[in-house]
Amino acid sequence: MALKLSGWGALESPPLPVTPKSSSSSSSSSSCLNFRTPRPPSVKCDYSCFEVRDVSYRPPGTEMSLLKSVNFSLPEKSFGLIFGRSGSGKTTLLQLLAGLSKPTSGSIHIQRYGNDGNPNQSPEPLTPERVGIVFQFPERYFMADNVLEEVTFGWPRQRGDLQFKEHLALRLQRAINWVGLNGISLDKDPHTLSGGYKRRLALAIQLVQIPDLLILDEPLAGLDWKARADVVKLLKHLKKELTILAVSHDLKELATLVDRSWSMKMGGILKEEPLRL
Ligand SMILES: Nc1ncnc2c1ncn2[C@@H]1O[C@H](COP(=O)(O)OP(=O)(O)O)[C@@H](O)[C@H]1O
Ligand SMILES: [Mg+2]
């Protein structure tokens, strides 16, 4: 089985998304200038920001708060990094952002801003469909015995709905190209891929539907130095098109990607903190 995939070499210019993001995040910095109207300049520079406001979390049936009034924001197409000691609450926060559990209080939304820096529409909730999450050691959750089935796991199986399947197939092709998996046979057992290629596969699964926010929990954990460098290079490419929030201990290796960083203190307290390397 081999899907004919055209041309991007691994880690060379990734294709632009075929389908634009939702209206909340579809603008790009290229819209900031309008050369046809010299004076006064007609400037349009909308952007969207993913925002977490006063989020606290206490698991149902417990008395202990795992997250305490967490606040932060991340503009579109930037890379945020959360670091902190084991057990401080980083994964718990990512699970809330991905909609896997609900905050006890607070809000998580996408806010759009105009060129004056003020919100120009009501905030939209960050629904789970708008988020992609790659868990720590994602390869442990591979279920299928070939790459194609792994990526299409959960797609509609019933006959009919051909148009929808074709649409998904195009997205699949784009996602596979995007992460540089196009040299790999779709027949291959995912468990036999190298460490770096397993991570690419896990990313491709999340990129079939272009997420407004891509969350990565310890993306470099368990990889050898070569695969780590490979994944960092890939993330650099993905960052051009996506908003990425990662949790990692590997501050040095990710530092060149990071636009904003926060440390999670024990007890679930998040503080903005520049990387000091
Ligand atoms: N459902 C839960 N109920 C009670 N405690 C939990 C639950 N999930 C996680 N914890 C605890 O919350 C703390 C933070 O866990 P976690 O978010 O996994 O930390 P990190 O990812 O920073 O290592 C840990 O002490 C963990 O044992
Ligand atoms: Mg964790």
Proximal ligand: closest to the CA of 93:
1
Q: Residue 110: what pLDDT?
A: 95
Q: Which residue numbers in the chain have pLDDT < 50?
A: 1-43
Q: Residue 163: what pLDDT?
A: 82
Residues 7-16 have pLDDT tens digits of 233 333 333 3
Residues 68-119 have pLDDT tens digits of 999 999 999 999 999 999 999 999 999 999 999 999 999 999 999 998 889 9
Under DSSP, is residue 63 helix (H, G, I), strand (E, B) or coil? Answer: coil
Q: Give CA–CA dist 219/153, Å, rounded.
A: 21
* Cα 25 from chain centre: 14
Residues 60-81 have pLDDT tens digits of 999 999 999 999 999 999 999 9
Q: Residue 256: what pLDDT?
A: 95
| Distance (Å) from CA 200 to ligand 1 centroid | 27
Q: Residue 38: what pLDDT?
A: 42
**Residue 198 CA: distances (Å) to CA of 8, 112, 147, 151, 276:** 19, 35, 10, 12, 31
Q: Residue 154: what pLDDT?
A: 76
Under DSSP, is residue 60 helix (H, G, I), strand (E, B) or coil? Answer: coil
User: What is the number of the ligand 1 atom nearest to the C-alpha of 101?
Assistant: 1
Question: Taking the chain, what is the end-to-end CA distance rounded to the nearest angstrom?
Answer: 47
Could you give phi then psi for residue 262, rounded to 5 degrees? Answer: -140, 150
Ligand 1 neighbour 87 (Cβ under 6 A): yes
| Distance (Å) from CA 257 to ligand 1 centroid | 27
User: What is the number of the ligand 1 atom nearest to the C-alpha of 95?
Assistant: 17
Exposed, middle or buried: residue 17 (CB in 10 Å: 0-12, 13-18, 19+)?
middle
Q: Residue 160: what pLDDT?
A: 66
User: Are the C-beta atoms of residues 17 and 208 closer than 8 Å to each other?
Assistant: no
Q: In this structure, what DSSP letter does residue 180 have?
A: T
Q: Residue 24: what pLDDT?
A: 37
User: Which positions ≥6 away from 81 have C-beta within 8 Å?
Assistant: 245, 246, 247, 248, 251, 254, 257, 258, 260, 261, 262, 275
| Distance (Å) from CA 92 to ligand 1 centroid | 6
Pairing of strands 244-247, 269-272: unpaired
| Distance (Å) from CA 270 to ligand 1 centroid | 15
Ligand 1 neighbour 198 (Cβ under 6 A): no
Ligand 1 neighbour 89 (Cβ under 6 A): yes
Proximal ligand: closest to the CA of 64:
1
| Closest among 243, 241, 202 to 220, alpha carbons compared | 202
| Distance (Å) from CA 87 to ligand 2 centroid | 7
User: Which positions ≥6 away from 56 have C-beta within 8 Å?
Assistant: 65, 67, 68, 69, 70, 103, 104, 105, 106
The model's pTM: 0.83
Q: What is the mean pLDDT of the chain?
A: 84
Q: Residue 1: what pLDDT?
A: 41
* Cα 112 from chain centre: 18
Q: Residue 155: what pLDDT?
A: 76
| Distance (Å) from CA 217 to ligand 2 centroid | 7
Identify the residue whose tokens are 């996506």. Answer: 242
Q: Residue 29: what pLDDT?
A: 34
User: Are the C-beta atoms of residues 268 and 69 closer than 8 Å to each other?
Assistant: no
Q: Residue 277: what pLDDT?
A: 76
The H or E element spanning position 272 is strand 269-272
Coarse DSSP helix, strand, coil percentages of the chain, rounded to the nearest 5 percent: 30, 20, 50
Residue of 65, 67, 91, 92 to test ligand 1 pocket, by largest number of atoms within 8 Å of CB: 92
User: Are the C-beta atoms of residues 239 and 58 closer than 8 Å to each other?
Assistant: no
User: Are the C-beta atoms of residues 172 and 208 closer than 8 Å to each other?
Assistant: yes
Identify the residue whose tokens are 């006064």. Answer: 40
Radius of gyration from C-alpha coordinates of the chain: 20
Q: Residue 44: what pLDDT?
A: 53
Q: In this structure, what DSSP letter does residue 115 have?
A: T
